[in-house]
Structure 1
């Protein structure tokens, strides 16, 4: 699964040809969750509250880039890296 961003110890990935709705996979210190791209909400799994809040804001800031990556993933095309919340 391609990594599209890493920031504050959070690893954000996206699978090619994954199931709808459009989402990212987030990992943080043993926690894992699926995050809806459109809302930034945890739809499956569990994350610490602060990490979930960071990801929600990050999704809102990068929604267009995430959507473009989702579309690429559905076509099995290479995904683009997205700047992290720490500007890395």
Structure 2
């Protein structure tokens, strides 16, 4: 499970050959969630409100890169790290 980014204690990962819809996994402390790339919706798990707000902001900035990495993951290609939220 390659790490795409890490910021403010939130680690962002993407699995190879994962199920649709396009999403990533975020870990913050003892919390973990699958987050939809298109909507920022929590698909599974849970995160504190502040961590989710930061992720939604990060998605808005990097949506195209996330979708490109999703395509790469489904094709079994190497993922490209994404800049953290400043």
TM-score range (shorter-chain normalised) is over 0.9
Q: Structure 1 stretches (4+) deviating beyond 4 angstroms?
A: none
Partner SS for 1:32: strand
Unaligned runs of 5+ in 1: none
1:42-53 paired onto structure 2 within 5 Å: 42-53=42-53
1:1-88 paired onto structure 2 within 5 Å: 1-86=1-86
Say what the alpha-carbon RMSD is for the aligned residues: 0.6
TM-score by length of 2: 0.97
Post-superposition offset of 1:61:
0.9
Aligned length: 86
- On the 8 A contact 1:39/1:60 being kept in 2, the answer is no
TM-score by length of 1: 0.95
Aligned equivalents of 2:45, 2:59: Cα separation in 1 = 17
